[in-house]
Structure 1
């Protein structure tokens, strides 16, 4: 199970619309971590270059250029955050809006199967620095190998540039999974989706207090929803029957479990 924490409007949107809102990673509270992750990818490319002894110059130059450009623009990387922990105080504090927090519990396997058509990836975040470096090294070697096979040695023309763009997209995809070890308590998993330049019609927009933000709707199968948690509140007993009615009206599994948070309200 993984849990998506949200406030009441988010819960109604998720259950009523049957989709999750993947947020552009630049609009997350910890968006700076993504750019630090790109630095780890660059370090992995540097180690790969030393190991190759000067080979694959076109690939390395192309990736280096794209990494430099990525640090100065909003990435087309969209994520939905989950936690392996149910009823976690830090998550209620971060996403519950005082007495309006809810957590939707998803079955990982059912959710993953449902994401195949959406072109999204669901994986756990990597927290330890050594594990991140090892992961980045493996990723760079894999992407370099794929690039070599696809390019056939050609380094000129639009085709080569498109292959480099695709290779960088794979690196950027996984960079979204690196998190600072100080957040390890969250046991975060992320649904990650990339938006191609010709897919702007997939975007939706939402007004925030200080800006207009973009998000990507990601449909999920209703059978993936297995639990709903009502966060710390004085009125949990009122929310439970309303959520139960919403689940039944929207056609979610009849055995979807409803829980009350056991975190004492005074701690929130």
Structure 2
């Protein structure tokens, strides 16, 4: 399904999504691929001198940006991951080692809902930004910084904001098979949507992001009370697929989640 993106979820996570009609995002610094986030900033600071090194005031600008960027990198950036691929071995291993579900959501419904909620929802790019993109993004910023001393602080702020918005959506080429989409939100630790949970022997800062939810009144399907954009569900590899499929459908019925297709993974994977 080209208009569906999948969120890989353990049974506990899947049940939470159905009960609360929300997904949970992790602090980007706690992700397995968190080094990609910090590497993005370093690569930009390395590339800009090659593109703008001859511009007036650029050396001062890169110094200012290098000093300020550490505070931007340490902001509380929360990420929820989705994938265009609903049956990927690396994702089953990463998120569903003891079983789980790839929950496929209508991508356009997510995009519209997240936009209204101030959540940045975009497809991940693999590699680093092209020279053309960086030139387009920074040309005016560099010019203003170098020609108007009174506008230097706003210029640095604009550069920081561009980098902050772009950084969560770039990863190394080695991750390309994931075909990832991300929902990204910056939140303070005092926000009501932020909490801390135990996970795999540590503590994991987490945020709640509400899913699109339309209340239903369907006489033909009285148990369907909410449409959360769930279109397709794939049951993870392993034994007891029929039971795990029927259990998921029962949970949907229990929590009033509207109907969707359910199928089985075709990945020949057994966790040893």
* TM-based fold match above 0.5: yes
Matching residue of 2:268: 264
Partners of 2:102 and 2:236 within 8 A in 1: yes
Structure 2 length normalisation: TM-score? Answer: 0.80
SS at match of 2:171: coil
Per-residue CA deviations over 1:53-80 (Å, capped at 9, x if unaligned) read: 1257876554322224556xx4321111
* 8 A contact 1:2–1:105 mirrored in 2: yes
In structure 2, relative to structure 1, the CA distance for the partners of 1:59 and 1:229 (3 Å cut) is same
2:125 aligned counterpart, secondary structure? coil
| Residues 1:39 and 1:23: Cα distance change in structure 2 (over 3 Å) | same
Contact persistence 1:44–1:137 (CA under 8 A)? no
Q: Provide the residue aligned with 1:43 in structure 2.
A: 46
Looking at structure 2, the residues matched to 23 and 175 of structure 1 have their Cα atoms a distance apart, in angstroms, of 16
Could you say which residue in structure 1 is the equivalent of 2:236? 231
Which residue of 1 is the match for residue 138 of structure 2? Answer: 140
Q: Give the aligned partner of residue 220 of structure 1.
A: 211
Quick check: 1:183 aligned with 2:181? Answer: no
Supply the distance in 2 between the matched residues of 1:59 and 1:198 (Cα, whole angstroms).
31
Alignment root-mean-square deviation, CA: 3.0
**Which is further off, 110-119 or 258-267?**
258-267
Matches within 5 A, 1:194-209: 194-195=186-187, 197=188, 200-209=191-200
Query: 2:9 corresponds to which residue?
Result: 6
What secondary structure does 1:87 align onto? coil
Aligned to 1:93: 93
Cα pair 1:79 1:191 within 8 Å, conserved: yes
* Contact kept? 2:119, 2:183, Cα under 8 Å: yes
Unaligned ranges ≥5, structure 2: 214-227
Bigger radius of gyration among the two: 2
> Number of paired residues?
253
Look up the match of 1:120.
Answer: 119
- Partners of 1:194 and 1:139 in 2: CA distance: 22
Q: Distance in 1 between matches of 2:58 and 2:53?
A: 11
Specify the SS of the correspondent of 2:56.
coil
Aligned to 2:69: 67
TM-score normalised by structure 1 residue count: 0.81
Alignment of 1:20-59 (within 5 A): 20-47=23-50, 49-50=52-53, 53-55=55-57
1:228 Cα shift?
Answer: 1.4
Provide runs of 4+ in structure 1 moved above 6 Å: none
Greater fraction helix: 1
Q: Is the 8 A contact 1:48 1:141 kept in 2?
A: no
Structure 2 distance, partners of 1:92, 1:41, is 33
Give a deviation string over 1:164-196, Cα, whole Å, max 9, x none: 55652331221111111111111111111122x
The higher relative CO (CA closer than 8 Å, separation ≥ 6) is in 1
Structure 1 unpaired stretches of 5+:
none
Deviations along 1:5-32, whole A, 9 cap, x unmatched? 1211111112211111111110000111
